[in-house]
């Protein structure tokens, strides 16, 4: 009976994996070939690289490891599609991914199909570690769905005519009415647990759990484009007293005076193309440095990851996710989202991305998945409109460098009471 239940779990997992990989294919099906092969910045990867890398992940860590007679599609793919696993092989540097014209997009798509067909070989594998590995691979595929949308946005924005990725979808009125503040108040000190302690999948960086005491605070609504326009008009980008030293150097070196993808103070670029700035929508594509400067400007602070996690635990898991197909952030000031804090935009925290006490990383090559990045990055929480709903939970820890702006990140402030 136990073996039967394990096989059922593997069967369900493989079905979910195929659904997720098909979702990845749907995200790119309307792109031109030319859109999928270029690299427009060092931090952007060609779309065909994402398609190949996620397939390589399944092949390298599951099929090649657990299926004795599995035949690699191409031995050279260890170099081309390995992202950063030093213990696996040498690899093409991230900033050079766009320099390789081969394999062609058509070959990469054949590779995806080859891997998908061979996933069925895993049905008959009896290994206690396979279930966890397939969960990692599934969640890895979902992470890259968001990364693909981030990179598509930059690639299309880099074109002179700013082409549209997807036509604007009418957002129901219940999402747009500005009649309530989507904020959360903790009016007494609370003892709470952080980290994942359930029975479903979680990443190694979410464990183990620990206790923490939170003092009273208010988590504000999303900072809006209107709020940010005030910040700009008050010349905050030229006021050094508001900025961290590194942030001041960063914005001056890169001549930053507005959020990424703002064309001017009237128009911005979204996955719907060029559109007028909606002042009620949350400001997006801001760095940690900008978030910190804005918090100082408002004489408030950024929430800690533990405060954000507590609010998420107290909130319904609904919101603007990938499944909504809006492909953009929108106002949460409505009855529909009155007590919801998931989705829409990742929220910057003030917390450095560090291991929890007694952290135990994955073993072997997968130990490089999260652990080696626990330095000089900050935690973001909650998910975005590009995150699959099943991928996000209160304990989920995203992480980026303080200067990063191309991810779907926004800002909520914290105020002590």
List Cα–Cα distances, 110 to 74, 168, 194, in angstroms: 12, 31, 43
DSSP H or E segment with residue 8: helix 2-28
pLDDT in tens, 44-74: 999 999 999 999 999 999 999 999 889 999 9
Spatial separation of the C-alpha atoms in residues 343 and 381, rounded to whole Å: 9
pLDDT for 181:
87
Integer Cα distance of 169 and 191 in angstroms: 43
Confidence of residue 175 (pLDDT cuts 50, 70, 90): low
pLDDT, residue 39, reads 98
CA distances to 38, 50, 141, 163, 222 from 79, rounded to whole Å, are 18, 14, 19, 32, 42
Kindly list the distances between the CA atom of residue 102 and the CA atoms of 113, 162, 310, in Å, as whole numbers in the listed order.
18, 27, 47
Going by C-alpha positions, the residue among 308, 292, 229, 298 that lies closest to residue 266 is: 229
pLDDT at 280: 94
- pLDDT (average), residues 236-264: 98
The domains of the chain, with CATH numbers, are 2-157 (1.20.120), 173-416 (3.90.1580.10)
Q: What is the pLDDT at residue 339?
A: 85
Tens-digit pLDDT profile for residues 105-144: 999 999 999 999 999 999 888 887 899 999 999 999 999 9
> By the 8 A CB rule, do 135 and 201 touch?
yes
pTM for the full model? 0.97
pLDDT at 384 (0 to 100): 98
Determine the pLDDT at residue 172.
Answer: 74
Report which DSSP code applies to 289. Answer: H
Long-range CB contacts (within 8 A, 24+) of 21-24:
21/54, 21/112, 21/116, 21/141, 23/145, 23/322, 23/388, 24/50, 24/51, 24/54, 24/141, 24/144, 24/145, 24/148
Give the pLDDT confidence score for residue 116 in this predicted structure: 98
Q: What is the pLDDT of residue 126?
A: 80
The DSSP bridge partners found for residue 399 are 379
pLDDT at 3: 63
Query: pLDDT at position 169, please?
Result: 84
* Better pLDDT: 273 or 336: 273
Q: Residue range 91-106: average pLDDT?
A: 97
The answer to whether residues 276 and 267 touch, using CB atoms and an 8 Å cutoff, is yes
Tens digit of pLDDT for each residue in 306-364? 999 999 999 999 999 999 999 999 999 887 888 899 999 999 999 999 999 999 999 99
Using the predicted structure, report yes or no on whether residue 2 has a pLDDT greater than 60. no
232-235: long-range contacts (C-beta < 8 A, 24 or more apart)? 232/257, 232/258, 232/265, 234/297
Q: pLDDT tens for residues 12-42?
A: 999 999 999 999 999 999 999 999 999 999 9
Q: How far apart are CA 274 and CA 165, in angstroms?
A: 11
Q: What is the mean pLDDT of the chain?
A: 95
- DSSP label at residue 352: E
352-to-213, 267, 373 alpha-carbon distances in Å = 18, 33, 11
Q: Give the C-alpha separation, 171 to 165, whole Å.
A: 17
70 and 63 in contact (C-beta within 8 Å)? yes
Query: Is pLDDT of 177 > 80?
Result: no
- Residue 177 φ/ψ, nearest 5 degrees: -65, 125
In the predicted model, what is the mean pLDDT of residues 260-288?
97
Q: Is 108 left (phi over 0), alpha (psi -120 to 50) or beta?
A: alpha
Average pLDDT over residues 77-90: 97
Whether the CB-CB separation of 338 and 316 falls below 8 Å is answered with: no
Structure confidence at residue 178 (pLDDT): 63
% of the chain with per-residue pLDDT over 90:
91
- Give the gyration radius of the chain's Cα atoms: 22
Helix (H, G, I), strand (E, B) or coil at 40: coil
pLDDT band, residue 230 (cuts 50/70/90) = very high
Residue 1, pLDDT above cutoff 70: no
pLDDT-based confidence at 7, cuts 50/70/90? Answer: confident
Give the DSSP H or E segment for 228. helix 225-233
């Amino acid at each position: 009976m136990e073996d039967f239940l394990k096989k059922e779990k593997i069967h369900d997992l493989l079905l979910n994996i195929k659904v997720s990989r098909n979702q990845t294919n749907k995200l790119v099906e309307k792109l031109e070939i030319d859109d999928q092969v270029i690299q427009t910045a060092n931090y952007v990867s060609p779309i065909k690289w994402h398609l190949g890398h996620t397939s390589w992940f399944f092949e390298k860590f599951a099929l090649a490891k657990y299926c004795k007679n599995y035949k690699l599609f191409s031995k050279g793919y260890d170099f081309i599609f390995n992202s950063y696993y030093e213990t696996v092989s040498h690899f093409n540097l991230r900033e050079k991914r766009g320099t390789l014209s081969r394999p062609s997009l058509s070959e990469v798509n054949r590779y995806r199909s080859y891997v998908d067909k061979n996933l069925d070989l895993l049905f008959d594998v009896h290994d206690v570690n396979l279930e966890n590995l397939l969960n990692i691979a599934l969640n890895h595929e979902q992470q890259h769905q968001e990364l693909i949308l981030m990179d598509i946005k930059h690639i299309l924005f880099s074109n002179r005519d700013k082409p549209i990725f997807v036509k604007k979808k009418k957002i129901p009125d219940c999402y747009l009415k500005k009649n309530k503040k989507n904020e959360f108040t903790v009016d007494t000190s609370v003892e709470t647990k952080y980290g994942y302690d359930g029975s479903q999948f979680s990443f190694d960086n979410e464990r183990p759990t620990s206790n923490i005491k939170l003092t009273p605070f208010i988590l504000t609504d999303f900072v809006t484009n209107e709020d940010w326009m005030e910040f700009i008009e008050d010349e905050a980008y030229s006021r050094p007293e508001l900025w961290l030293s590194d942030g001041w150097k960063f914005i001056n070196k890169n001549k930053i005076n507005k959020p990424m993808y703002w064309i001017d103070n009237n128009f911005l670029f979204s996955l719907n193309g060029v559109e007028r700035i909606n002042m009620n929508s949350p400001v997006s594509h801001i760095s940690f440095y900008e978030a910190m400067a804005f918090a100082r400007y408002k004489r408030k602070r950024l929430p800690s990851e533990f405060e954000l996690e507590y609010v998420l635990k107290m909130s319904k898991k609904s919101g603007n996710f990938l499944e909504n197909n809006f492909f953009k952030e929108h106002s949460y000031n409505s009855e529909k989202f009155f007590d919801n804090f998931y989705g829409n935009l990742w929220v910057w925290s003030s917390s450095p991305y560090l291991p929890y006490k007694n952290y135990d990383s994955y073993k072997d090559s997968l130990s490089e998945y999260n652990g080696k990045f626990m330095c000089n990055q900050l935690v973001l929480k909650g998910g975005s409109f590009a995150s699959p709903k099943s991928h996000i939970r209160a304990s989920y820890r995203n992480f980026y460098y303080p200067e990063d702006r191309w991810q779907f990140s926004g800002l909520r402030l914290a105020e002590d009471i």
